[in-house]
Amino acid sequence: MAGLVIDGGAVLATRRQAANTAEQAALAGAQGLDLGAIRAGAVSRLDPDAATRQAEDYLAAVGATGTVTVTDRTITVEVTMQRKLLVLGMAGLRPVEVHGRATARNS
């Protein structure tokens, strides 16, 4: 029972960390605007290369890995993290993979 409480809580904390990291990376990437389009008076949109680079730079800075997808006005980041099971790991259970996903929209 203690293993479920300890390891379950740790997995939930890691899931929240993955979600927070994805949110922050998406917000960083959402700053990658297409400045040429804005200067030309067009509707603001994301520059896919700049947005991807900024999101990936954030992930690298915090030591996380993930995937970045950019469309005209949105950026989606999915982060994957591994969590070792401290108590249940002694019983042979393998680490748990958790995911966090966030989308930021340029409006």
How far apart CA 85 and CA 80 sit, in angstroms, is 16
pLDDT at residue number 82: 86
User: Rounded distance, CA 45 to CA 37, Å?
Assistant: 7
What pLDDT, on the 0 to 100 scale, is given for residue 1?
61
Average confidence (pLDDT) per 10 residues, the chain, 107 residues: 64 88 96 72 82 96 95 94 67 80 89
pTM as predicted: 0.83
Q: What is the pLDDT of residue 3?
A: 59
